[in-house]
A and B are shown apart, each in its own frame.
Chain A
Amino acid sequence: MSVLAHQRFSAATGTRLSAIAGVGALALVALLAALPFFASRGLIQDLFLVFSLLALAQYWNLLAGYAGLVSVGQQAFVGLGAYALFASTMLAGLDPVLSILIAGAVAAIVAWPVALVVFRLKNAYFAVGTWVVAEVFRLVVAQIKSLGGGTGTALPKSVTNDSALISLIAHVTGSRTPAARDMAAYWLALVVVVLTMALVYALLRSKRGLALSAIRDNEGAAGSVGVNLARTKLYVYVVCAFGAGLTGALIYLQKARISPDAAFSVTDWTAFVLFIVIIGGIATIEGPIVGVLIFWLLQDQLAAFGAWYLMILGALAVCVMLFFPEGVWGALAHRYDIHLFPFRRRLVVSGGKGAT
């Protein structure tokens, strides 16, 4: 008793390493923000895709790694967001940047009733159910003639070039419109990915994040100690749909050309994203960053081989599942106990000189 009386207990998530990592992350973001002023246009275009995929990977990781909602149908919301952007800019004549936010909101609003249906399926059946929903979206969108039907459509130049943001960038940097477009897309993607990671990190450190970790570790036990399973999962599903819709809109604003088969592609918007998370390490924030860098490297080296590249990627994902189910980062973090962005609460004991 007397031993305990001198000790104080508290719960902490941060460590000295995480403080250093936080400062490092801020410095990296500042560097990346300044990059368009001195990097090549090719690198900027590459990084746009890296950031977009990383944002999608973070949302999928939140969904599958934490809420236990293994979806193979996130392309439903990527495609929906992309089409919402096309509708909002081409049909309603709104500004593209504003339309990106609208696209995210549309995806979130649609996700809510969708969740009521697909949540009736459990585990692996949930996965295929989400895929069916994505197929339904693809087939319905292909019927909308004003958005190009089954063959798709392209954004007119007035939409892609005359946005207030692009004019501003062209004016300030003195670059030509196509280069200013790439810069605008790059900065928007950087904002999206940084906010995404900040959101995911804040969510995981919050009370709701604790509930999510509890659900991941043992759903039944989490429910029995008062975690509202249905509401927490619905919340995460809608947030992830918002993120996927927003990112999808951004990707297709940059591509400027859309078709139902591309926008709702399971390979591009789910398989790649899933492999990034698995190879990097599921259920960590650092994992998808490592995964997307490995993915970028592989794509750079192997994309010319077409089908071979995808075969290797599929085989790599299977091998990681067999031999390092925690992924590259997960295995490293486990072995050396490194957590750059920790959200687990650790017990801190202070005082208590008499402790044995």
Chain B
Amino acid sequence: MLPISVDEGLTLTTLIDILVQGILLGGLYALFAAGLSLIFGVMRLVNLAHGDLIVLAAYLILVATNALGVGVVGGLAAAIPAMFAVGYLLQRLLFNRVLGKDILPPLLTSFGLSIFLQNGMLTGFSADSRRLPAGGVETLSVPIVGGLAIGVLPLLTFLAAVCVIVSMNQIFYRTALGRGFRAVSDDPVTAQLMGIDNRQMFAIAMGIAMVVCAIAAFFLGLRANFDPTIGPARLIFAFEAVIIGGLGSLWGTLAGGVILGVAQTAGAAVDPEWQLLVGHLAFLFVLVLKPRGLFPRSAD
């Protein structure tokens, strides 16, 4: 991206550049957010350890890549079932026991888990920054009009986000499993009377959310350095994307990610220190104007 200063003025090219880069960055944020959105939709749980679980998935991919020697895509293929198991077991052993009418226990449990995971990873993998071996993909770009070029990796990230959202919507609205998800989400008691095992549904949903986390971690680790402490910031980006987009709509979450991505990219273009601040301010701005987000579907 081209750094600009006020004297140079905003040329059309820089504006388009900011917009394109921001939209593509939004794809990554939508990947962070999709799992969070699914879990909230199915069981009204806000998992404060979501960001740390993304970082955990990045380390799993790294370890699998190095251990198996099958390349980074092979590493992702190995991490996906592992993360599904992590999610399934977390839900079965932990979250199912604390979910209930009171929102405090699940929230605080996930906060405790977040601190546990961060410091566990710090002990296991040290505080050093790591990166997934991208094999040169990170430097490739496709030229578009006016001397602008789009990076191949951000483009792939955005396409992956679209594919994940299409697949999740397919599961949610076209399969028996998705019908179960919608049933327990709408009315857990009646769903149980109809023979649906709520706890099993919740565990599968958490497993799927963790698979999405693994995909998000794959693109995060290819594009930038990661270390055990970056989880909470990923949680906040994911959360902002979900709220900007409106609860209950995955396409809304993608739009929320894009708005956050464009705001951050625009902020960074003025001054790199402003990237996060402008992103947060955009979120608060949307919250003041439209408290239920831009494309709300669910009633809560």
Question: What is A's interface to B at a CB cutoff of 8 Å?
Answer: 64, 70, 72, 117, 120-125, 127-129, 131-133, 135-136, 139-140, 142-143, 150, 266-267, 271, 274-275, 278, 282, 307-308, 310-311, 313-318, 321-322, 325
Is there an interface contact between B116 and A315, defined as CB atoms closer than 8 Å? yes
A142–B105 CA distance with the chains assembled, in angstroms:
34
Contacting pair A275 B277 (CB below 8 A):
no
What are the interface flags for B201-221 relative to A under an 8 Å C-beta threshold, 1 for contact and 0 otherwise?
000000000000000000000
Question: Secondary structure at chain A's binding surface: helix, strand, loop or mixed?
Answer: helix
The reply to whether A314 and B108 form a contact with Cβ atoms under 8 Å apart is no
Known pairs A123-B103, A135-B276, A308-B123 / 12 extra A-B pairs, C-beta < 8 Å? A125-B239, A127-B48, A128-B48, A135-B280, A142-B273, A150-B273, A275-B112, A307-B123, A311-B116, A313-B115, A314-B116, A316-B112
| Known contacts A125-B243, A267-B115; A322 and B94 CB within 8 A of each other | yes
Which residues in A have their C-beta under 8 angstroms from that of B114? 314
In whole Å, how far is A102's beta carbon from the nearest beta carbon of chain B? 26
CB < 8 Å neighbour of B104 from A70, A122, A131: A70
Q: Which residue of B lies closest to A305 (CB)?
A: B123
Alpha-carbon gap, A125 to B45, bound state (A): 10
| Complex Cα–Cα for A223 and B283 (A) | 30
Q: Is the CB of A274 within 8 A of B108?
A: yes
**Residues on B with beta carbons closer than 8 Å to the beta carbon of A275:** 112
Docked Cα-Cα span, A127 to B104, in Å, equals: 10
Given A131-B236, A310-B119, residue A140 in contact with residue B291 (CB < 8 A) = no
A76 smallest CB distance to B (angstroms)? 12
Q: Residues of B within 8 Å of A, CB-based: how many?
A: 42
* A-B residue pairs in contact (CB < 8 Å), sample of 26: A64-B104, A70-B103, A70-B108, A121-B287, A122-B300, A123-B103, A128-B48, A132-B236, A132-B239, A136-B284, A139-B276, A139-B280, A266-B232, A282-B104, A310-B119, A311-B115, A311-B116, A311-B120, A314-B113, A314-B116, A314-B117, A315-B112, A317-B109, A318-B113, A318-B116, A322-B109
Say whether, besides A121-B243, A122-B300, A139-B280, A321 and B115 are in contact (CB < 8 Å): no
Which residues does chain B contribute within 8 Å of A120, judged by CB atoms? Answer: 287-288, 291
**B87-119 Cβ-contact flags toward A at 8 Å (1 or 0):** 000000010011000011111110111111111
Of the candidates A133, A143, A314, the one having the most CB atoms from chain B within 10 angstroms of its own CB is A314
A311 contacts B123, C-beta separation under 8 Å = yes
Please judge, given known A-B contacts A120-B287, A124-B46, whether A136 and B280 are in contact too, CB under 8 Å: yes
Q: Looking across the interface, which residue of chain B has its beta carbon closest to that of A319?
A: B112
Cβ contacts under 8 Å, B120 to chain A: 307, 311
Q: How far is the CA of A121 from the CA of B235 in the complex (A)?
A: 16
Q: Which residue of B lies closest to A116 (CB)?
A: B288
With A135-B236, A136-B277, A143-B273 already in contact, the answer to whether A310 and B115 are too (CB < 8 A) is yes
Complex formed: what's the CA distance from A192 to B193 in Å?
Answer: 54
Measured in the bound complex, the distance between the Cα atoms of B94 and A132 in whole Å is 26
Tell me whether B119 and A140 are in contact (CB under 8 A): no
Contact call A318/B109, Cβ cutoff below 8 A? yes
Interface hub of A129, A150, A321 (most chain B Cβ within 10 A): A321
Contact: B107 with A124, CB < 8 Å? yes
Least distance between B130 CB and chain A CB atoms (Å): 17
Whether, in the assembled complex, B1 has its beta carbon less than 8 Å from a beta carbon of chain A, the answer is: no
A315 to B111, CA, bound (A): 10
A192 nearest CB across to chain B (Å): 25
Q: Are A140 and B109 in contact, CB atoms less than 8 angstroms apart?
A: no
Binding site for A on B (CB under 8 A): 45-46, 48, 94, 97-98, 103-109, 111-120, 122-123, 232, 235-236, 239-240, 243, 273, 276-277, 280-281, 283-284, 287-288, 291, 300
Chain B residues with CB under 8 A of A70: 103-104, 107-108
Residues A322 and B97 in contact in the complex (CB < 8 Å), given A121-B287, A124-B107, A278-B108: yes
A318 touching B103, Cβ below 8 Å = no
Q: Chain A residues with Cβ under 8 A from B105's Cβ?
A: 321, 325
Chain A contacts for B109, CB-based, 8 A: 317-318, 321-322
**Across the interface, do A72 and B48 meet the contact criterion of CB distance under 8 Å?**
yes
Give the chain B neighbours of A308 by CB distance below 8 A: 119, 123
With A and B bound together, what is the CA distance between A282 and B104 in angstroms? 10
Q: Which residues of A contact B94 (CB under 8 A)?
A: 318, 322
Please list the 4 inter-chain residue pairs (A to B) with the smallest Cβ-Cβ separation, ordered nearest first. Answer: A124-B46, A314-B116, A314-B115, A317-B112
The CA of A143 and the CA of B120, in the complex, are separated in Å by: 33
Given contacts A117-B288, A274-B111, contact A321 B236 (CB under 8 A): no
Cα–Cα, bound, A70→B46 (Å): 12
Judging by beta carbons under 8 Å apart, are A125 and B46 in contact?
yes
With a cutoff of 8 Å between Cβ atoms, the chain B residues found around residue A314 in the complex are 112-117, 119
B102 to chain A minimum Cβ distance, whole angstroms, is 8
Residue numbers in A under 8 Å from B98 (CB-CB) = 321-322, 325
A322 to B288, CA, bound (A): 36
| Bound Cα distance from A310 to B228, whole angstroms | 13
Complex CA distance for A131 and B231, rounded to whole angstroms: 14
Contact status A139-B277, CB under 8 Å: yes
CB distance from B198 to the nearest CB of A (A): 19
Known contacts A125-B243, A132-B240, A135-B276: does B108 contact A311 (CB below 8 Å)?
A: no
In angstroms, Cα B209 to Cα A160, docked, is: 51
Contacts of A133 in B (CB 8 A): 284
Nearest CB in chain B to that of A135: its residue: B280
Q: How far is the CA of A211 from the CA of B277 in the complex (A)?
A: 37
CB B284 to nearest CB in A, in angstroms, measures 6
The smallest beta-carbon distance between A295 and chain B, in angstroms, is 13
